Chain A
Amino acid sequence: MFRGSVYSGVEDDLKSLFNIVVSRGYRVIGPKLVDSVIRLERLHDFNEIPYGYEDKQAPGYYRVVNNGGRFRHGPDSPKRFLYPPELLLFIIRPNLSIEYPRFEFAKTALFGIKPCDLAAINVMDGVQGELGDEYYQKVRENLLLIVENCVEPGGTCFCATMGTGPFAFKGFDIAYTRIGNGAVIFQPGSDLGVDILSELGLRPAEDEQVDRLRSLMMEASKKARAEFTLENLPETLEMGLDSEVYRKIAEKCLGCANCNMVCPTCFCFDVLDEPELDGSAKRVRIWDGCHSYSYAQVAGGHFRKSLYARYRHWVLHKFVYWLRQFGTFGCVGCGRCITWCPAGIDLRQVVRDVVREVETRCRR
């Protein structure tokens, strides 16, 4: 068995894979149906994965139906585990000594995450790399990444535009694709992946299966697109700083920061101190986001007082500044900010409209 090659199996092999991973001592986290939403949860049994359910996603809309279809991803992304919403940083004692919490970093397998979320982990690696968050790095070192390629992208997906999906090419331990009729194509992406998959006794995929895989990938890529391309995108967006589009969006936007919360790469945080009566204090880091009013508030002023400036900053960070800071786009095209926006704002349209406005202006 070789890295990068494709092997043929059946759906029962997925169950065996799950059990092998468990028997190797991994805590498994994967998709699970909870209160009518597919969440990323600790799984104890392969059958907890809601295969056969479909998630219908549109701007501001999410419903799960049991129709034999496929699901994509819910509101949770790997960020929840790598960069938890609330984290105790340290406790400072009355004598000013500092106590750091001790965390257990269990070997964890992310089972069946989608290529966009894999890409998001790669993007977060760029942010939390050597000088980044220690907690993140510790969780990351212990991650086994098993990715399910996306044969049917959802209504808010645009990974193909962002070049992050719908199929994964690198950065995973194991990728698999359910190509229909119970057949599954497996692909090891690391030595560990080879080692684990070799236990399944798979045979190399047949030519017609590889052809089928290719055509599924082509079809899926056509679906997961926004109406803009990456070509000159940062430059174009920067020329559209004063675009009316942002002002119009700010009339719909609630400034609630749901988009920041569900974004698999948004990493902004607030730090809170909780003093105790004995003179000690806890310092806690919590998720925050650039849509928060207080986020850009500093001593003596505020750099993004109006909501349109905050919304615009978010867009520009994802598509312009991130490249300069970390060398990748900050957006992976998962579409969570679109689905989970309570106002139903569609980021794809916003970017498209700004690009169009700039292009029209340039033609004049």
Chain B
Amino acid sequence: MSRDGGKVKLAVFKFSSCSGCQDRLIDLGENLLSLTEKVEVAYFLEASSRTDPGPYDVALIEGSISTPHDVELVKEIRKNSRIVITIGTCAVYGGIQALRNWMNYQEVVKQVYPRPEWINSLEKSTPVSDHIKVDYQVSGCPVNELQLFNILKQVLTGRRPYHRLESLCQECKRRGNACVMVSRGIPCLGPIMVEGCGALCPSYGRGCYGCFGPMIDPKPDALAMRLEEIGLPKEEVIIRLRGFTSWSDPIRRFLERYERE
């Protein structure tokens, strides 16, 4: 898929985020080495100080857009890249930092920074796809490196990438877990969240807290109703749903209604 039949030029960019997702790339280990046979890492500040100005074949973008400068930069990246893939829940949904979207921005800045007047950021932390056309999205906090690797392999071999967008429950049951909600009464967001993490939390006996974001056609109303039924106070339900992907469309629309009820 490279322009001249040579190596594919890959760039990795970061906006408001913790770098955890791009670190997953480095954690690929041997797989990363096999990747470099096909790929030239042209821009990846976390891994190398050598930078290539582009254009790039594939750009991976981590982090949410939260300053006016971010907006300009992400548009530049789009212009300079053939395929843009957002990686991680910040880039895909706005991330944990989108919690500020639910609050008074001025108040938040005052609480966090001693000199709020020095801060030049946007009122809301938003997904990359609010600003540019994104070709593919891989969510997760952090992304699952094998899922990311799989997506990259599909892109590099010229396929249209596909990964399942069904409930985490399915992956959880395929792994052989017993439902933690049913067998232990542990509140779990798995029934509305997307698979892809390997059902990490339920495999260790805790409930899913939704860091990969909503599945396709999620039913937050039904889940909230059920969580309340099994004894979780409404405030707790809200806290859980807000957590990682409060700014994803389905969760946000639900919360806007649910919090008022």
Listed in ascending order, the chain A residues whose CB lies under 8 Å from chain B are 35-37, 39, 60-63, 74-76, 80, 85-86, 251-258, 260-262, 270, 272-277, 279, 286-289, 292-294, 307, 339-344
Contact = CB atoms under 8 A, between A and B. Distances in A.
A254 B191 CA distance: 6
B34 A277 contact: yes
Nearest to A34: B178
A76 B229 CA distance: 26
Interface residues of B, number: 44
A213 B173 CA distance: 36
Nearest to B173: A261
A342 B216 CA distance: 18
B87 interface: no
A86 B164 CA distance: 14
Interface string B191-208: 110000000000001000
B73 interface: no
Given A292-B170, A307-B217, A340-B182, A80 B176 contact: yes
A97 B164 CA distance: 27
A261 to B, nearest CB: 4
A294 B164 contact: yes
6 contacts: A252-B225, A258-B191, A293-B217, A342-B179, A343-B223, A344-B229
Given A257-B170, A342-B179, 11 more contacts: A39-B178, A61-B182, A253-B219, A254-B192, A258-B169, A261-B173, A272-B164, A277-B35, A292-B167, A340-B179, A340-B182
Nearest to B217: A293
B26 interface: no
A279 B156 CA distance: 10
B78 to A, nearest CB: 26
Given A35-B205, A60-B182, A342-B188, A277 B225 contact: no
Q: When A and B form their complex, which 6 residue pairs have the shortest distance between CB atoms, in order from nearest?
A: A261-B173, A256-B191, A85-B174, A254-B191, A256-B167, A256-B169
Contact of B222 (A80, A251, A293): A251
Interface of B: 34-35, 37-38, 150, 153-154, 156-157, 159, 162, 164-167, 169-170, 173-176, 178-179, 181-184, 188, 190-192, 205, 215-219, 221-223, 225-226, 229-230
A257 B167 contact: yes
A261 B169 contact: yes
Contacts of B159: 273, 275
A255 B179 contact: no
A325 B181 CA distance: 35
A358 B61 CA distance: 55
Contacts of A288: 166, 170
Nearest to B158: A275
A294 B166 contact: yes
Given A277-B157, A293-B216, A254 B223 contact: yes
Nearest to A292: B166
A352 to B, nearest CB: 21
Contact of A62 (B34, B173, B183): B183
B183 A37 contact: yes
Contacts of A292: 166-167, 170
A228 to B, nearest CB: 24
Contacts of B34: 277
A75 B175 CA distance: 12
Contacts of B169: 256-258, 261, 342
B222 A287 contact: no
A176 to B, nearest CB: 26
B227 to A, nearest CB: 10
Contacts of B223: 254, 343
B166 A293 contact: yes
A36 B222 contact: no
B183 A307 contact: no
Given A277-B37, A277-B38, A85 B229 contact: no
Contact of A255 (B38, B217, B226, B230): B217
Contacts of A272: 162, 164
A164 B176 CA distance: 26
Contacts of A75: 173, 178-179
A251 B170 contact: no
A293 to B, nearest CB: 4
